[in-house]
Amino acid sequence: MNPATDCPICFEEYTGHGDREQHTAPCCGQCLCLCCSNCLQRCPFCRTAWHGASAGTHWQRRGFPNPISLTAAICLQSPGLAWGASKLAWNAGSSAVTGVRAVAASASIYAAEASPVVIGGTAVGIAALLAGGAALYAASRHQEVQSGRLQAAIRNRRQNQLCQYHDAAATLFDVVQWHLSPQKKGMPHVYHGSVWRSAARERHFEQVQQLCVEPRTRLALTPSDRIWSDLSFCVSLWLEYNPHTANWGTSPSYGPPPFGFCWHNRWREDMRHAISDLARQILSEQSFQPDSLDAQEKRSACCLLAALDHTLSWQVATPRFGHSDLVEASWYSYRDFCEKLLQQFALAWASAGAPEGEVDLSEHGAIIGVDSHMDVMASREIPDGFCFIW
C-alpha cells in the first residue's frame, strides 16, 4: 500500500471523484477516502468524534456498510486468493466448517467494536493465512520430482553381500515389531514428537545398514544375497523417514534438498509402489529359479515384505486417527491398527518359521496371508517410473 495514493483503511486507490475521493480529516489532517469517512463516526487516527456523534466506544455509523466487508471484497477480487480459499474449503470437512462459522461470528462482533486500522490489519493477516494454506495444499499434492528421487535412490543402490540370513531376518523382524509397539507398555502409540523414539529409529537404521557388506570378490551374488540386500535397503528407506508431525517429515532420498521435507502420505504411497515392484521381482526370480532359495528363507523374506506393505498402508489423518486399506481399525484408531497388525505379523512370522504343515495358526484369528498378499502386490498397477527399478 502507498499512503500517498491509497486509503489506509480500505486500501483502495484514491480517485478524483465519487466515494474514493481523497478526504482530509478535519481533526488531525490525516488522509482517507470519502467512503470510509462517511462510514465512521470517529477518527481512526486521533479518535475524535465525527458527524455529531457522542463520545462512545463504537466506530461504525449506523446504516453504513462495515469496512471489513469492503476489505474482504477486495481480497476476493484476486483469482489466486479465491482459488486457494476454495481448495481449503473443499478439504476442510464438516468440522472445519463449524470452526469457520464460529470464527466468522466472532469476527463480526469484533469488527463492530474494533478500530478500522486494526480491522484492515486483520484482513491482511487473513489474506496471508489463506495464501499460506494454498501453499500448504500445493505441497501436499503428489510431485513427480520427489518420486524421481526415490526411483533414482533405488536404481543407484549398491548390491551388497549378505552377512548371514538368520541375523538379517531377526534384525528386520525386531524393526517391524518395534515400529508397531507402543513406546512403553500400556502407553499410547507414539509416531512422532518423541526424542526417545527418534533415537531408537536411528539405532535400528544403523543396524539394518550393517546387515550387508560390500562383496570381497567379483563373484556374482547369490539369489539370497540379492533378495536380502534389496529387502534391507527397502527397510532402510523406510527407517530414514523422520516424522516431525503427523503429516510432515524429512527423507533425504525423497524430499527436496537440503532439508528433505515431504508430505507423509505422498511418501507412503510411493514407498508402496517401490515395494510392490520388489515383490514382482522376487516372484519372477523364483519362477525362473525355483530352487534358488531355501523354502523357510523365502517365506521369511516374503513375510517381512508383506508386513512392511501393511505398515505403509496406514494413511495419516491426525496423530491418532487415519485408515488402512488392508487392516480395519476400530474407530479409525492408529493404536488399534498397530495392535491388530502386530498380532497378525507375529502369527504370520511364526507360520513362516515353521516347517511345512507343522503349525496351523488360522484358529488364532486373523493372519497375514503372505503368499496371496505377495501375488496382490506383484499384480498392482503402479506408475511406469516404479516398474523394474530393482
Q: How confident is the model at residue 69 (pLDDT cuts 50, 70, 90)?
A: low
Euclidean distance between CA atoms 119 and 130, whole angstroms: 17
pTM: 0.66
Tell me the C-alpha to C-alpha distance, in Å, between residue 14 and each of 22, 30, 66, 297.
Answer: 6, 14, 19, 79
Residue at 38: amino acid letter: N
Tell me the C-alpha to C-alpha distance, in Å, between residue 88 and each of 78, 83, 117, 374.
Answer: 16, 9, 27, 38
Whether the CB-CB separation of 272 and 313 falls below 8 Å is answered with: yes
Euclidean distance between CA atoms 300 and 316, whole angstroms: 28
Nearest to 267 by CA among 297, 294, 242, 230: 242
Name the residue with cell 487516527: 45
Nearest to 154 by CA among 25, 297, 21, 254: 254
Write down the pLDDT at residue 185. Answer: 78
- Identity of the highest mean pLDDT range in 8-22, 116-130, 289-303, 322-336: 322-336
Backbone dihedral region for residue 73 (phi beyond 0: left; psi -120 to 50: alpha; all else: beta): alpha
Q: Looking at 46-50, 125-129, 372-376, 379-383, which range is the least confident one?
A: 125-129
Non-local (6+) Cβ contacts of 84 within 8 A are 130, 131, 133, 134, 137
**pLDDT tens profile 230-276:** 999 999 999 999 999 889 999 999 999 888 999 999 999 999 999 99
Mean pLDDT on 135-158: 84
**pLDDT tens profile 185-202:** 777 787 887 888 999 999
Mean pLDDT on 335-358: 83
109 pLDDT more than 50: no
290 pLDDT more than 80: no
Q: How confident is the model at residue 65 (pLDDT cuts 50, 70, 90)?
A: low
**pLDDT tens profile 291-309:** 667 888 889 999 999 999 9
Nearest to 300 by CA among 140, 170, 125, 148: 170
Whether the CB-CB separation of 319 and 246 falls below 8 Å is answered with: yes
Whether the CB-CB separation of 61 and 53 falls below 8 Å is answered with: yes
> How does the average pLDDT of the chain come out, rounded?
79
Q: What is the CATH number of domain 1-65?
A: 3.30.40
Q: Which three cell numbers stand for residue 111?
A: 469488527
Domain-by-domain residue ranges, the chain? 1-65, 70-139, 140-386
Please, is 80 exposed, middle or buried when counting C-beta atoms within 10 Å of its C-beta (0-12, 13-18, 19+)?
Answer: exposed
DSSP annotation of 56: -
Mean pLDDT on 164-172: 86
Write down the pLDDT at residue 91. Answer: 53
Write down the pLDDT at residue 102. Answer: 43
DSSP annotation of 355: P
Whether the CB-CB separation of 321 and 145 falls below 8 Å is answered with: no
Non-local (6+) Cβ contacts of 103 within 8 A are none
Euclidean distance between CA atoms 168 and 174, whole angstroms: 10
Of 164 and 283, the one with more pLDDT: 283
Q: Which three cell numbers stand for residue 381?
A: 498397477
Q: Quote the crossing angle between the two packed helices 195-209 and 223-239, to the nearest 10°.
A: 160
Tell me the C-alpha to C-alpha distance, in Å, between residue 45 and each of 27, 40, 116.
Answer: 9, 12, 9
Write down the pLDDT at residue 315. Answer: 93
